[in-house]
A = this chain, B = another copy of it.
Amino acid sequence: MHYMKIEDEIKQPVFQSDYQKGYINLVYTAGWLQQQQQAAFREFDITLPQFNILRILRGQHPKPATVNLLIERMLDKTSNASRIVDKLEAKSLVTRTVCPSNRRAVDIRITDAGLDLLQRMDEGVMKRENGLQNLTAEEAVQLNTLLDKIRD
């Protein structure tokens, strides 16, 4: 909604270095992309973390997933997959049953309603998720290389 050029929007016009600028630019751009997605999600009454968990569950379907598995695969690590699953369960998009072979664990499964929702969302989301449309294929590779290097 009020995203513009990095230099204009963050009105600290002078960056101390390309490193600092890169840092801010990175955080800012990631937020920008996420917000794009979030806006698209509103009409489906679902949040980004909820969507991400639903997709993991679809990947497992018809096998169940445990909370642990969700945490492992989530982008934004957190110990609170539990509470996100709460919300999904309240909307009948997933079910929770005690795992028979390990009663500490909980089997979480996506419901038909959940699968339906994802299917309805697929098309629009794919488009968003690419989201890096302005880059050429070569630039996308370059970006990945740089990002991996940052975290080395």
Contacts and interface: CB of A to CB of B under 8 A. Distances in A.
Given A19-B140, A23-B33, A140-B19, A149 B129 contact: no
Nearest to A55: B12
B22 A27 contact: no
A44 interface: no
A11 B139 contact: no
A99 interface: no
Interface in A1-43: 1-3, 5-6, 10-12, 17-34
A130 interface: yes
Copies in the complex: 2
A135 B146 contact: yes
Interface stretch (A73-81, A102-110, A111-119): A73-81
B6 A130 contact: no
A90 interface: no
Nearest to A72: B11
A interface secondary structure, majority: helix
Interface residues of A, number: 53
A147 B75 contact: no
B27 A77 contact: no
A118 B141 CA distance: 38
Contacts of A29: 26, 30, 147, 150-151
A139 B144 contact: no
